[in-house]
Amino acid sequence: MKRLQATPRPDWKQKIEEQGLVFSTTTTPDGKKIEYWNESAYYEFSMDEVETLEKTAEDMHLMCLEAAKYLATGAMGNIGIGPQALELAAESLQAGDMDIYGRFDFVYDGRGGPAKMLEYNADTPTGLIEASVAQWFWLQDVFPEKDQWNGIHEALIRQWKKLQYRTGMSTLHIAHSEAEQSGEDWMTAAYMRDVAGQGGWTTIGINMSDVGWDPNLNRFVDLDNFMISTIFKLYPWELMMKEPFGQRLLQRAHNPRWLEPAWKMLLSNKALLAALWHLFPDHPNLLPAYLNEPGPLKEWVAKPLHGREGDNIRIHAAGINMEQPGGYGREGWCYQQFHSLPDFEGNHPVLGLWVVDGESVGCGIRESDGPITDYFCRFVPNTIDAPAPLSVQAASASSSKAGIAL
């Protein structure tokens, strides 16, 4: 893996906004505006690296399913979600409820060592539009002769088709939280409506606050009193359990099909890291991790069990003692072995490896100036050091991505 320089397209900002990346400008606490999308550089993989990392992500997904089964037994306590939510997750896992997607975060430096898993964002993963769509159009504009590690869009359509075939359902509600102000959640939900629509679903977009309960139907409904039978929600399960309808979620017989399903709260919980290390000690792609205390770790990163975007993370390592602000931590902590991020001339990348139906389907790279990948990181596109498949070149002009209704 190499970090290479590139010349930004003159109209890059207009293009990415048209493609759905409307949240590309971030304001720092001191009022400075920084750009999230960075096409002045790109990362290039060899095909051997891609194949190795794909297998790593797929193996890790299977290991995470085993770790989820272990967490569902309560062997590590209630992991900050409470006994009722844990039981709900266990029932969902046992039932084999279908899921859609997830994103691993890995550390990888391209110098021959194994990639190390940092976490699994399997309940409400974002970063989707830039990884699936924006970087693909960048490739067509800048390096149309090259390949890219990116089959996310097509994989999502296939999975939505598969879900419809298995369930026989045709109407899908897609919900997001209006509390998120940048537009990322709204655009991610809009993109999911697009790929689900291409997968054959009739979609209805709603806010999470529009989800209600009809006592006469004994079912969840939207504001039009239309019964919700299948719903994709970009809203974490641990917050859903605290909603006014939270207790209704425990009545599985009267619930819609939730996507992501309840068992995903086991994978997005940082307790997963400790469960993985307990079940697969010394695995080359894992970092040692422990619940509630550092244990034998001398250098560590403390992660709140429900934390997101680097909030409340604490680092204790040689030359580094830092703590991020945020509102997490009361639910408990996981301590993971500190592992420094690669340094490409002051840029520290983390690989987001996307998984759909257990298959590794693409990569999105975020880089930061420091050891924590937070709200002020940058997304950098990728290429593979190989020619684009002829089928991809022929289809590029008429790809379904070109019709995204955002």
Q: What residues does each domain of the chain span?
A: 2-403
Please tell me the predicted confidence (pLDDT) of residue 398: 44
Task: Residue 43: count other Cβ atoms within 10 Å of its Cβ.
Answer: 22
* 277: nearest Cα among 267, 291, 263, 266: 291
CA dist., res. 265 & res. 268, Å (int) = 5
Would you give per-residue pLDDT tens digits along the chain (406 residues)?
Answer: 999 999 999 999 999 999 999 988 888 778 888 999 999 999 999 999 999 999 999 999 999 999 999 999 999 999 999 999 999 999 999 999 999 999 999 999 999 899 999 999 999 999 999 999 999 999 999 999 999 999 999 999 999 999 999 999 999 999 999 888 788 999 999 999 999 999 999 999 999 999 999 999 999 999 999 999 999 999 999 999 999 899 999 988 889 999 999 999 999 999 999 999 999 999 999 999 999 999 999 999 999 999 877 778 899 998 888 877 777 778 899 999 999 999 999 999 999 999 999 999 999 999 999 887 776 899 999 999 999 987 554 455 445 565 454 4
Please tell me the predicted confidence (pLDDT) of residue 212: 94
Which residue reads 């596109």 in tokens? 381
Please tell me the predicted confidence (pLDDT) of residue 401: 66
CA dist., res. 136 & res. 396, Å (int) = 10
Q: SS3 string of the chain?
A: CEEEECCCCCCHHHHHHHCCCCCCEEECCCCCEEECECCCEEEEECHHHHHHHHHHHHHHHHHHHHHHHHHHCCCCCCCCCCHHHHHHHHHHHHHCCCCCEEEEEEECCCCCCCCEEEEEECCCCCCHHHHHHHHHHHHHHHCCCEECCECHHHHHHHHHHHHHHHHCCCEEEEEECCCCCCCHHHHHHHHHHHHHHHCCCEEEEEEHHHCEEECCCCEEECCCCCECCEEEEECCHHHHCCCCCHHHHHCHHHCCEEECCCCHHHHCCCHHHHHHHHHCCCCCCCCCEEECCCCCCCCEEEEECCCCCCCCCEEEECCEEEECCCCCCCCCEEEEECCCCCCECCEEEEEEEEEECCEEEEEEEEEECCCCCCCCCEEECEEEEEECCHHHHHHHHHCHHHHCCC
Please tell me the predicted confidence (pLDDT) of residue 404: 52
Q: Which amino acid is at 249?
A: L
